[in-house]
């Protein structure tokens, strides 16, 4: 008898990052033996948790702590990891991917998860050594090296989530650190003005210097960066400059391959690109006009793409509200959803200035649509659930700002009776 | 261990002060033999000197005793010189000790030469005094407490003894359990006392005379008149029977608003029971026909000869610890001293000689209500008020306040600042119970010692000393030279026996010769006790011997004069006590455990009346009378007759925004006794719209003044408010003009003060709300401010922490369900809040959750209604005794037993 095993389909992943590898995990869960898988990764590592780069910079974790998939994982799952070789071309007609070192891999299904690249402001001097981004472990290593024994000056451009985490890390590495932020308040996309100001005060307490509404004019230096000059003429000495002014989807490879791209790679609700054989997930995509920079939607995209690629279900990606936490030890904050509100919303506020706590909940029609928690984000998960579920909170509205009701909250009359009787 | 007497009601229980600070019942005292009521049991909680007056004040500034007493003496002397002795007055109190009373009375009646000394006993006992005088020729309670235990039938008239004289009521219930005593209660309200009775006749307010006239006619018709005894010992019975009208139960029942069958049952019981006693209290006395009520009752006992023998007779129970002592020394304006009479020249002559009085007043003085009218009219220009709070307790309280503020000179002696001391030119700090040394007389003529067991705070001094000092400073050195209360008592005792020879029943001459050691060691003893007596006084008048010229009692005709006029109003306002408070709460208001039973003043009315008026349960209701108005929370109960509303007498401006119920009470007085009618003021009721609700907790409560609640939002121009504030500035005494933003009630709790707020105007918003909260909370400079706000819902919660301790907190909500339960938040006031609990603090859930336990039923052991209900259901407890075994509720003072029985009735399941 002839037993002809069906040929395994070939799946190639470009981008050995969190979104892509999570999608592989999801596919393996659904159809463990269906695909021959190859992964192109520009970085010479297995997969690591990019979100945890800040604790590594701050010295709270080591790189080994944040590796999520080492080479053994790829091997044991029969995945060919082409690490340290970035993909440089996609031939959609031939259905092959070519790597920078000449590796060529054919595919039946291609998954692009190239992520994003940091925005580099085209300011004079931005190519000077010592001007870095905060994107990968290499950036972290160069920052730690620049910090050396400490005492130097660092300037972080960008007072958003990433910039502040970087600044905190540099501070912890002993550098005199200044954050320059173009807007009037830090993390304005995640915090309301009150909590933003509380955050600034907390960071200043830790020794950080912040300059708001700061317009960077030039990086000064000859062999390497030595100072940052602002538009108003201020000159700040700088042994290290970290640019953390945002990310943009890494869509060049896809664009070159002729896939439909706007700011990111355009995908439909099934995470499919304009080429039916090619899917994309993660920060490189643009879905219904939206870009992504947080981890939660990546996990959702991974599930949808896995369903589709494994052909187990025709699920669709539905954007959900995302929550943000700042990973600065000792600073507890969370925000999610629409925490600004409008004429149709109502606001519940809790404030305890002495304890450094500020909570703002935004409601519409007795449903929670957004929240900012500063100083005490211990109930973040509960609020986030209420936002995601669009739960009717009319019944618990008066106590909503105090978090979830305690377990078994009602008093026990029998216990009370025994207490009296004893 | 110091043996002394309780400072509350007229039962006069003995208590012992233990070295560890506990106050316990005296098992040896004949009045209580080891029992105490909830108020007595909480006495130790009231021994808090923090709010006491500790230094004399002149014009609100600290002064020396010498200056303060000198000023009083000078002001009185100058006023007398210019306007005569009747231009000055003392207004004293049933809480004065006999020695205090004696010195005050001697000074006013014997030396100043005016009758203008009256006492708050006028509001309490004057009708009984007048009734006794009319019937017996002297103010005598013929019976003794043992009668409560030896009677076969006890009729309680206008007496909620279960709450107001709990220890006597407990003695009665014990007797009922032991020997089957029948209890009949005549009261418009189904009180706790009525609950414990065999028969309750809910007669309409003011119909008592009709009922007892009917009874007298019935007794006469039934041949129950003791012809022999009445012939020998009474006069005027025929006229009294004639005035009582025909024996017509239907007619009597109609007048009283009663079921004729109930009336007939009661009459039959009374008629056939030889051992019958009629106990009466404020429902009888506090009436514009109070004296007639007393005599209508006494007539029935005289007619049947049921008086002075075991288990029978009329029995007046007094409301104050020493109303009786005051009566003995002549503390009422229409008495002399030692039961001597104004209209007896021999008495006046004897008293003049005994006192060596330069100017014994020839005529009675002004009685309380008319006394303050005379102050208002400028006839009295110097007034000394001692141990009483007329700005709250007298009817037409606002008129009293106007009079006080207009009076050229007012001195006030008290232990605490009161709504009255506000008006004083001189404030004298008085020694309080536990600090004073003297005697009191209870409702059965028993004299007990009040002994000191703790030092008076600061410069506080006893009242007798103040009067004696002023007497000396007015030039009567020798007459006021006592060195001790023992010396005062000896003089008082000697006077009672002076040229007495049986003319006056009140004679304690046997106590006149004791030395100081004998006074210190004096055991509770009942008068009469003439010199040479070998045993204490007992029951009186069984064989006649009334202190009248012919030795006969008088049956006073008491024709029924009709029911109280409603004057165009739909309701009658009845006022009285609640179980765990006493008078104007100066002492009981210090004990948090006593606030738990009834934390705020309620207007109790029948649910059908409320429904007709659109008054919701627990909503606010406005009580408007011709005198004024108050706003109270509505308490709807079927225990109330339709057309009648009950409100407590205790709350003052220090405890509630609406202040004393006296604001609304009319000042109609009994023409004989001068006692004001406080139980039948015509009143109209209307619902009050409310806009928000709040709870405010503060460790320091009294500093919060009225202005906080007269809060005026800056952003809202409110012409009504502006005008009202202007008006009130013109007449500072008229608080009613202020359309305060809140109705509020202050409830003392263990660690501070709880204020219940009900918004009478819209809740302030925005910055105004912030200002409002700041005014209420009054945070110290370095305090932490924690806030939760939901402006769209009208929710605001604020906590103030100082060094991590909860100093104050405020909860506001449009709807009462938006407030936390008091039980959950009260315990955390004044406690250190751990960081971990800080974020949940304003959730107000507490550790025990959010369930309210209902009112505190047992004050002694802090057992709530729900705990009793729960125990009854889960353990199938059917009796008060079983509840007592399990929860201890009801096993100490017993005041709550009727309420426990009511709860048991509610939960009792059909027998299986």
- CB nearest to A399's CB, from B786, B843, B853: B843
Q: What is the dihedral of CA A85, A87, A88, A89, to 10 degrees?
A: 150
Domains of chain A, first to last: 9-117+248-310 (3.50.50.60), 131-245 (3.50.50.60), 332-400 (3.30.390.30)
Are the Cβ atoms of B785 and A420 closer than 8 angstroms? no
Same domain flag for B43 and B53: no
From A366's Cα to the closest Cα of chain B, the distance in A is: 11
Instruction: Kindly give, in sequence order, each residue whose CB lies less than 8 Å from that of residue A3, ignoring residues fewer than 6 positions away.
Output: none
Backbone angles phi, psi at B55, to 5 degrees: -150, 140
Q: How many domains does chain B contain in total?
A: 6
Averaged pLDDT score across all residues of chain B: 91
Residue B702 reports pLDDT greater than 60: no
- CB nearest to A348's CB, from B790, B838, B874: B790
Give the lowest-confidence range in B3-7, B622-626, B823-827: B823-827
**Measured between CB atoms, does B503 come within 8 Å of chain A?**
no
Structure confidence by residue, pLDDT tens digits, B680-693: 999 999 999 999 99
> Could you give the C-alpha distances from B23 to B41, B295, B651, in angstroms and in order?
7, 39, 25
Q: Is B587 exposed, middle or buried (0-12, 13-18, 19+ CB in 10 A)?
A: buried
Q: Is residue B575 included in any domain, yes or no?
A: yes
Report chain A residues whose CB lies below 8 A from the CB of B866. 413
Are the Cβ atoms of A352 and B839 closer than 8 angstroms? yes
Are the Cβ atoms of A354 and B871 closer than 8 angstroms? no
Same domain flag for B462 and B500: yes
Tokens 């407590």 locate to: B648
Backbone angles phi, psi at B208, to 5 degrees: -55, -40
Residue B851 reports pLDDT greater than 70: no
Structure confidence by residue, pLDDT tens digits, B738-785: 347 888 888 888 888 899 999 988 888 888 888 889 888 888 888 999
Pairing label, strands B426-429, B409-414: parallel
Report chain A residues whose CB lies below 8 A from the CB of B835. 355
Are the Cβ atoms of A420 and B887 closer than 8 angstroms? yes
Q: Is residue B536 included in any domain, yes or no?
A: no
Go through chain A and tell me how many residues it has: 422
Structure pTM? 0.82
Residue B910 reports pLDDT greater than 60: no
Distance between first and last Cα of chain B: 52
Report chain B residues whose CB lies below 8 A from the CB of A420. 861-863, 867, 887-888
Give the lowest-confidence range in B526-540, B620-634, B708-722: B708-722
Same domain flag for B842 and B864: no
Q: Is residue B637 included in any domain, yes or no?
A: yes
Question: Which uninterrupted H or E stretch holds A117?
Answer: strand A116-118
Are the Cβ atoms of B871 and A406 closer than 8 angstroms? no
β-sheet with B409-414: strand ranges across: B61-62, B57-58, B426-429, B409-414, B382-386, B88-92, B117-119
Report chain B residues whose CB lies below 8 A from the CB of A401. 788, 790
> How many interchain CB pairs under 8 A, A with B?
103
Structure confidence by residue, pLDDT tens digits, B161-220: 999 999 999 999 999 999 999 999 999 999 999 999 999 999 999 999 999 999 999 999
Q: Residue B738 is part of which domain span?
A: 692-852
Instruction: Kindly give, in sequence order, each residue whose CB lies less than 8 Å from that of residue A412, ignoring residues fewer than 6 positions away.
Output: none
Q: What percent of chain B has pLDDT over 90?
A: 75
Calpha distance B297→B312 (Å, rounded):
12
**Measured between CB atoms, does B692 come within 8 Å of chain A?**
no
Backbone angles phi, psi at B326, to 5 degrees: -60, -40
| Burial A138-172, CB ≥16 within 10 A → b, else e | ebbebbeebbeeeebbbbbbbbbbbbbbbbbbbbb
Averaged pLDDT score across all residues of chain A: 90
Calpha distance A11→B763 (Å, rounded):
66
Residue A421 reports pLDDT greater than 60: no
Structure tokens at A318: 């539905």
Are the Cβ atoms of B845 and A403 closer than 8 angstroms? no
The residue-averaged pLDDT of B450-473 equals: 97
Q: Is residue B912 included in any domain, yes or no?
A: no
Residue B719 reports pLDDT greater than 70: no
The CATH number for B8's domain is: 3.30.200.210
Same domain flag for B680 and B739: no
The CATH number for B81's domain is: 3.40.50.740
From A365's Cα to the closest Cα of chain B, the distance in A is: 11
The DSSP code sequence of A321-352 is --EEE--BTTB-EEEEE--S--TT-EEEEEEE
CA B22 to chain centroid, in Å, comes to: 25
Among A343, A347, A365, A402, the residue to mutate for chain B (most B Cβ within 10 A):
A402
Are the Cβ atoms of B845 and A348 closer than 8 angstroms? no
Question: Final residue of a domain: which of B316, B340, B361?
Answer: B316
Same domain flag for B501 and B599: no
Residue B700 reports pLDDT greater than 80: no
Q: What percent of chain B has pLDDT over 70?
A: 94
Report chain B residues whose CB lies below 8 A from the CB of A350. 786-789, 839, 842
Report chain A residues whose CB lies below 8 A from the CB of B817. 398
Enumerate residues 869 to 888 of chain B having a beta carbon within 8 A of any beta carbon in chain A.
870-871, 874, 886-888
pLDDT of residue B838: 86
Question: Final residue of a domain: which of B493, B510, B526?
Answer: B526
Same domain flag for B192 and B168: yes
- CB nearest to B845's CB, from A352, A354, A409: A409
Pairing label, strands B644-648, B681-688: unpaired
DSSP annotation of B431 reads: P
Structure tokens at B435: 């600090």
The CATH number for B272's domain is: 3.40.228.10
Q: What is the dihedral of CA A42, A46, A50, A55, to 10 degrees?
A: -130
DSSP E strand stretches across B760-853: 784-790, 795-802, 805-813
Calpha distance B448→B439 (Å, rounded):
6
Structure confidence by residue, pLDDT tens digits, B58-68: 999 999 999 99
Structure confidence by residue, pLDDT tens digits, B483-536: 999 999 999 999 999 999 999 999 999 999 999 999 999 999 999 999 999 999
CA B394 to chain centroid, in Å, comes to: 11
- CB nearest to A411's CB, from B795, B838, B848: B848
- B220 by DSSP, 3-state: which? helix
Residue B353 reports pLDDT greater than 80: yes
Structure tokens at B82: 């210019």
- B102 by DSSP, 3-state: which? helix
Among candidates B468, B463, B461, B467, which has minimal Cα distance to B483? B468
Long-range residue pairs from B882-885, CB within 8 A, at least 24 positions apart, any chain = none
From B691's Cα to the closest Cα of chain A, the distance in A is: 17
Give the lowest-confidence range in A85-94, B564-573, B716-725: B716-725
Pairing label, strands A278-280, B629-636: unpaired
Calpha distance B549→B287 (Å, rounded):
29
CA angle B179/B185/B191 to nearest 5° reads: 110
Give the lowest-confidence range in A109-118, A266-275, A336-345: A336-345
The CATH number for B863's domain is: 1.10.10.1100
Q: Is residue B483 included in any domain, yes or no?
A: yes
From A351's Cα to the closest Cα of chain B, the distance in A is: 5
CB-based contact B426:B68 (threshold 8 Å): yes
Q: Is the peptide bond before A32 cis (omega within 30 degrees of 0)?
A: no
Same domain flag for B143 and B220: yes
From A280's Cα to the closest Cα of chain B, the distance in A is: 43
From B827's Cα to the closest Cα of chain A, the distance in A is: 15
pLDDT of residue A5: 63
Q: Is residue B538 included in any domain, yes or no?
A: no
Backbone angles phi, psi at A155, to 5 degrees: -125, 125
Q: Is residue B533 included in any domain, yes or no?
A: no
Neighbours of B198 (CB within 10 A): 15
Report chain A residues whose CB lies below 8 A from the CB of B795. 348, 398
Question: Final residue of a domain: which of B474, B506, B526?
Answer: B526
Are the Cβ atoms of B849 and A409 closer than 8 angstroms? yes
Same domain flag for B832 and B868: no
Q: Is residue B554 included in any domain, yes or no?
A: no
Same domain flag for B100 and B42: no
Same domain flag for B180 and B200: yes
Same domain flag for B848 and B734: yes
Neighbours of B872 (CB within 10 A): 23
Among B841, B843, B866, B889, the residue to mutate for chain A (most A Cβ within 10 A):
B843
Query: What is the chain A residue with the closest CA to B852?
Result: A411
Structure tokens at B31: 């009045």
pLDDT of residue A325: 79
Classify the C-alpha dihedral A315-A316-A320-A323 as positive or negative: positive
Among B839, B846, B857, B888, the residue to mutate for chain A (most A Cβ within 10 A):
B839
Among A365, A393, A417, the residue to mutate for chain B (most B Cβ within 10 A):
A417
Among candidates A276, A283, A246, which has minimal Cα distance to A260? A276
Banded pLDDT at B735 (limits 50, 70, 90): very low
Instruction: Kindly give, in sequence order, each residue whose CB lies less than 8 Å from that of residue B795, ignoring residues fewer than 6 positions away.
Output: A348, A398, B788, B789, B812, B813, B814, B818
Question: Which uninterrupted H or E stretch holds B302?
Answer: helix B290-304
Are the Cβ atoms of A354 and B785 closer than 8 angstroms? yes
CB-based contact B43:B5 (threshold 8 Å): no
Calpha distance B904→B891 (Å, rounded):
16
Calpha distance B475→B480 (Å, rounded):
10
Same domain flag for B168 and B239: yes
Residue B714 reports pLDDT greater than 50: no
- CB nearest to A346's CB, from B787, B792, B839: B792
């Amino acid at each position: 008898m002839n037993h002809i095993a069906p040929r395994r389909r070939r799946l190639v992943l470009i981008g050995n990052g969190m979104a892509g590898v999570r999608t592989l995990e999801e596919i393996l869960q659904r159809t463990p033996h269906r695909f021959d898988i190859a992964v192109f990764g520009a970085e010479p590592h297995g997969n690591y948790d990019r979100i945890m780069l800040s604790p590594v910079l701050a010295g709270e974790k080591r790189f080994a702590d944040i590796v999520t998939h080492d080479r053994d994982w790829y091997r044991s799952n029969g995945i060919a990891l082409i690490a340290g070789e970035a993909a440089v071309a996609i031939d959609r007609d031939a259905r092959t991917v070519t790597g920078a070192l000449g590796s060529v891999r054919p595919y039946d299904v291609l998954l692009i998860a190239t992520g994003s690249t940091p925005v580099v402001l085209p300011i004079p001097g931005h190519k000077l050594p010592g001007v870095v981004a905060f994107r990968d472990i290499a950036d972290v290593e160069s920052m730690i090296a620049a910090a050396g024994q400490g005492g130097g000056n660092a300037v972080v451009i960008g007072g958003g989530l990433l910039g502040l985490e970087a600044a905190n890390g540099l501070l912890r590495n002993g550098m005199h650190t200044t954050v320059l932020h173009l807007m009037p308040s830090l993390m304005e996309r995640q915090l309301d003005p009150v909590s933003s100001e509380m955050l600034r005060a907390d960071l200043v307490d830790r020794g950080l210097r912040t300059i708001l509404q700061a317009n960077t004019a030039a990086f000064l230096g000859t062999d390497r960066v030595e100072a940052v000059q602002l538009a108003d003429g201020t000159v700040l000495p700088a042994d290290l400059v970290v640019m953390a002014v945002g990310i943009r989807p890494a869509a060049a490879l896809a664009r070159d391959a002729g896939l439909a791209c706007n700011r990111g790679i355009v995908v439909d609700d099934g995470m499919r690109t304009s080429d039916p054989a090619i899917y994309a997930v993660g920060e490189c995509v643009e879905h219904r006009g939206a870009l992504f920079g947080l981890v939660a939607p990546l996990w959702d995209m991974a599930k949808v793409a896995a369903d589709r690629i494994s052909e187990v279900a025709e699920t669709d990606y539905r954007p959900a509200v995302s929550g943000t936490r700042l990973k600065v030890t000792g600073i507890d904050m969370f925000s999610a959803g629409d925490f600004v509100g409008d004429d149709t919303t109502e606001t519940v506020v809790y404030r305890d200035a002495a304890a450094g706590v500020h909570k703002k909940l935004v409601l519409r029609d007795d449903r929670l649509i957004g929240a900012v928690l500063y100083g005490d984000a211990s109930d973040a998960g509960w609020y986030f659930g209420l936002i995601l579920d669009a739960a009717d909170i009319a019944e618990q509205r008066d106590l909503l700002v105090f978090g979830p009701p305690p377990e078994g909250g009602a008093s026990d009359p029998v216990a009370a009776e025994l207490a009296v009787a004893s | 261990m110091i043996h002394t007497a309780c400072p509350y009601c007229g039962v006069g229980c003995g208590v012992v002060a233990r070295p560890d600070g506990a106050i316990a019942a005296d098992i040896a005292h004949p009045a209580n033999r080891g029992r105490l009521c909830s108020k007595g049991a909480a006495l130790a909680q009231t021994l808090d000197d923090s709010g006491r007056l500790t230094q004399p004040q002149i014009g609100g500034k600290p002064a020396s005793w010498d200056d303060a007493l000198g000023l009083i003496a000078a002001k009185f002397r100058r006023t007398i010189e210019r306007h005569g002795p009747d231009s000055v007055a003392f207004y004293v109190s049933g809480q004065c000790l006999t020695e205090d009373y004696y010195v005050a009375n001697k000074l006013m009646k014997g030396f100043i030469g005016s009758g203008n000394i009256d006492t708050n006993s006028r509001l309490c006992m004057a009708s009984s005094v007048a009734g006794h005088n009319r019937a017996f020729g002297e103010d005598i309670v013929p019976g003794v407490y043992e009668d409560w235990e030896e009677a076969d039938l006890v009729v309680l008239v206008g007496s909620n003894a279960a709450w107001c004289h709990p220890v006597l009521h407990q003695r009665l219930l014990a007797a009922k359990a032991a020997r089957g005593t029948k209890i009949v209660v005549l009261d418009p309200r189904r009180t706790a006392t009525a609950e414990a009775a065999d028969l309750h006749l809910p007669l309409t307010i003011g119909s008592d005379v009709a009922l007892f006239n009917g009874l007298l006619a019935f007794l006469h018709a039934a041949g129950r008149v003791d012809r022999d005894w009445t012939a020998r010992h009474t006069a005027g019975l025929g006229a009294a029977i004639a005035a009582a009208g025909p024996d017509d139960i239907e007619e009597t029942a109609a007048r009283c608003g009663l079921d004729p069958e109930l009336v007939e049952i009661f009459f039959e019981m009374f008629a056939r029971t030889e051992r019958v006693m009629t106990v009466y209290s404020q429902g009888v006395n506090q009436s514009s026909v109070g004296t007639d009520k007393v005599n209508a009752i006494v007539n029935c006992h005289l007619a049947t000869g049921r008086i002075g023998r075991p288990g029978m007779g009329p029995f007046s129970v007094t409301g104050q610890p020493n109303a009786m002592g005051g009566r003995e020394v002549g503390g009422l304006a229409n008495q002399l001293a030692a039961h001597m009479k104004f209209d007896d020249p021999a008495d006046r002559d004897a008293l003049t000689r005994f006192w060596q009085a330069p100017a014994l007043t020839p005529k009675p003085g002004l009685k309380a209500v008319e006394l303050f009218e005379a102050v208002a009219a400028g006839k009295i220009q110097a007034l000394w008020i001692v141990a009483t709070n007329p700005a709250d307790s007298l009817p037409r309280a606002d008129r009293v306040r106007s009079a006080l503020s207009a009076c050229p000179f007012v001195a006030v002696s008290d232990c605490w600042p009161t709504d009255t001391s506000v008006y004083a030119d001189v404030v004298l700090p008085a020694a309080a119970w536990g600090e004073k040394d003297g005697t009191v007389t209870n409702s059965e003529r028993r004299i007990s010692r009040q002994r000191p067991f703790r030092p008076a705070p600061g410069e506080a001094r006893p009242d007798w000393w103040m009067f004696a000092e002023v007497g000396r400073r007015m030039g009567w050195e020798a007459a006021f030279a006592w060195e001790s209360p023992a010396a005062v008592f000896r003089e008082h005792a000697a006077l009672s026996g002076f040229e007495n020879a049986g003319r006056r029943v009140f004679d304690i001459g046997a106590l006149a010769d004791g030395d100081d050691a004998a006074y210190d060691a004096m055991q509770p003893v009942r008068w009469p006790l003439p010199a040479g007596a070998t045993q204490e006084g007992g029951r009186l008048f069984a064989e006649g011997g009334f202190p009248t010229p012919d030795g006969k009692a008088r049956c006073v005709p008491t024709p029924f004069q009709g029911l109280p006029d409603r004057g165009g109003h739909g309701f009658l306002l009845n006022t009285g006590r609640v179980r765990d408070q006493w008078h104007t709460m100066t002492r009981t208001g210090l004990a948090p455990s006593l606030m738990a039973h009834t934390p705020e003043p309620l207007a109790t009315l029948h649910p059908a009346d409320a429904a007709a008026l659109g008054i919701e349960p627990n909503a606010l209701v406005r009580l408007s009378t011709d005198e004024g108005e108050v706003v109270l929370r509505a308490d709807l109960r079927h225990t109330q007759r339709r057309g009648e509303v009950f409100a407590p007498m205790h709350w003052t401006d220090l405890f509630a925004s609406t202040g004393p119920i006296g604001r609304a009470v009319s000042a109609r007085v009994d023409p004989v006794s001068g006692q004001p009618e406080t139980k039948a003021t015509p009143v109209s009721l209307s619902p009050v719209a409310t806009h928000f609700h709040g709870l405010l907790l503060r460790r320091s409560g009294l500093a919060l003044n009225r202005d906080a609640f007269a809060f005026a939002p800056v952003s809202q121009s409110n012409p009504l408010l502006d005008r009202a504030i202007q008006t009130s500035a013109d007449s500072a005494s008229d608080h009613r003009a202020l359309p305060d933003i809140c109705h509020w009630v202050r409830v003392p709790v263990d660690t501070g003060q709880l204020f219940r707020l009900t918004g009478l105007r819209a809740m302030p918003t925005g910055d105004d709300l912030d200002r409002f909260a700041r005014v209420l909370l009054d945070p110290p400079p370095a305090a932490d401010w924690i806030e939760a706000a939901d402006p769209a819902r009208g929710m605001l919660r604020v906590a103030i922490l100082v060094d991590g301790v909860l100093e104050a907190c405020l909860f506001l909500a449009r709807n009462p369900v938006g407030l936390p339960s008091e039980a959950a938040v009260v315990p955390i006031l004044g406690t250190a809040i751990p960081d971990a609990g800080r974020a949940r603090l304003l959730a107000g859930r507490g550790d025990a959750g959010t369930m309210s336990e209902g009112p505190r039923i047992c004050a002694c052991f802090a057992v709530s209604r729900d705990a009793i209900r729960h125990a009854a259901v889960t353990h199938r407890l059917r009796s008060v005794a079983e509840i007592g075994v399990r929860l201890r509720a009801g096993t100490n003072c017993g005041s709550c037993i009727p309420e426990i029985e009511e709860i048991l009735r509610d939960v009792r399941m059909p027998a299986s």
